Structure 1
């Protein structure tokens, strides 16, 4: 009889402990805007949020003992959501800037971004640097930093299109010798299109870095995110994710 009571008490304690563990589970409330492939976008077949950023934050959360609850949110609403504690983390291709850093924290940089050039393979020996684009026909997307940058290249004849895809089509048709856009967007296009007639210039025309956004009121979380990033870089996880989405090694 005493043995039976002990078993019942033991099971009860185990059940309570399990319930407590479930309640104590650390969940990161993460926001993103799924319209920036390959960083974050909606898989048309599964309707799931996927992308480089999604894999990165999930990997960081895992090594730091968190699970994630990822929500779609307009880009311009994400930093306010961090400030008002509606979200814990925002990852959506946020460039680290001094202005943003006044109101939120950033993790260590997780991606080196910036503008780049995609060029017709036949021009590979002639076009190696930005200076070689002077006086050339250039395609760009309307309203982007790439278009603004192209307009400043001396003598360049710049044609702007509504979408990046249209500019790629014009490059393939020979209407221009290069497309200027965010380098990761160009890398993703090469990776998914398998286009052998184009090459990506080695030069970064501009340099910027992406960081993961957290609240200034939660330095501990900021440190954990940066620590997790270091861990996944050290164990090779970061490189595998990079290869998956960009088709090249970091």
Structure 2
């Protein structure tokens, strides 16, 4: 500052440079410099709303905090619907995605994925009385199957020739309709379906034990393709804590 309390040219340049440095690591960083992490409230155990605290919690929330702390990056969490996660990231409304979202070739064309923190495949839920063997997706042909919009699982059903697919905003609605007999099966994230049936048992439904998903895919944090510096920082942090803190977080959430 000069003696009148106004910024000098040198100070103005310094402040401009600091602002550019903050914006280089994210499009929605606030005055505090915190990066905005988008996640969903309907993906337990990866991310969900804790009704006691009214805050998002779950494995990916814990992992995001652990990775950000290791990378010395301040973050704040915002709730976003699953289908809006990638669009919100590319629109610079958020800077990082931390949710149970799988890495796919189609998504890799749009956003950048960090190194994996977990991997899983799809699971099938049916009525307990359903006697039809379901070992692969092809066995679902001829049935009305529920799947979550914007997920890899809708595409997998189409590729397997399952024509009658009803899409939902979340897995909870799928299980509800399945329980009421409106659909014959639900297909989605195996760990999330297992968690829901474990924490809120429905005696009328079961997870198909001998189903083999067509693939197991990686769960990662997501950033924009034009943010390689942030991607490098996150990957370095993941590499340092994957077998320690991240492994402990996954065990905590029974993953």
Smaller-chain TM-score range? 0.5 to 0.7
**What is residue 205 of structure 1 aligned with on the other side?**
214
Task: Say if 1:227 and 1:124 are closer, same or farther in 2 by CA, change over 3 A.
Answer: farther
Match of 1:160 among 145, 159, 166: 166
Contact 1:150 1:158 in 2 (8 A): no
**In the alignment, is residue 140 of structure 1 matched against residue 149 of structure 2?**
no
Shift of 1:37: 1.8
**What is residue 40 of structure 2 aligned with on the other side?**
34
Cα distance between partner residues in 1 of 2:96 and 2:206: 37
TM-score in terms of structure 1 length: 0.64
**In the alignment, is residue 79 of structure 1 matched against residue 90 of structure 2?**
yes
**In the alignment, is residue 239 of structure 1 matched against residue 250 of structure 2?**
no
**What is residue 237 of structure 2 aligned with on the other side?**
228
Match of 1:51 among 47, 58, 61: 58
Contact 2:34 2:75 in 1 (8 A): yes
**In the alignment, is residue 127 of structure 1 matched against residue 156 of structure 2?**
no
Shift of 1:232: 2.9
Cα distance between partner residues in 2 of 1:147 and 1:103: 19
Give CA deviations for 1:153-174 in whole Å, capped at 9, x if unaligned. Answer: 56x6847375533432454466
Cα distance between partner residues in 2 of 1:233 and 1:96: 18
**CA RMSD of superposed structures (Å):** 3.8
Task: Say if 1:216 and 1:28 are closer, same or farther in 2 by CA, change over 3 A.
Answer: farther
Unaligned runs of 5+ residues in structure 1 are 1-25
Give CA deviations for 1:3-52 in whole Å, capped at 9, x if unaligned. Answer: xxxxxxxxxxxxxxxxxxxxxxx965132043342233332221212222
Contact 2:136 2:213 in 1 (8 A): no
Give CA deviations for 1:131-190 in whole Å, capped at 9, x if unaligned. Answer: 44344x343147565456546656x68473755334324544667653212334323322
* Greater radius of gyration (CA): 1
Unaligned runs of 5+ residues in structure 2 are 1-31
- Number of residue equivalences: 215
Contact 1:96 1:106 in 2 (8 A): yes
Cα distance between partner residues in 2 of 1:216 and 1:67: 20
Query: SS state of the match for residue 168, structure 1?
Result: helix
Query: SS state of the match for residue 56, structure 1?
Result: helix
- Match runs of 1:13-28 below 5 Å: 28=34
TM-score in terms of structure 2 length: 0.63
Cα distance between partner residues in 2 of 1:130 and 1:93: 21
Shift of 1:229: 2.0
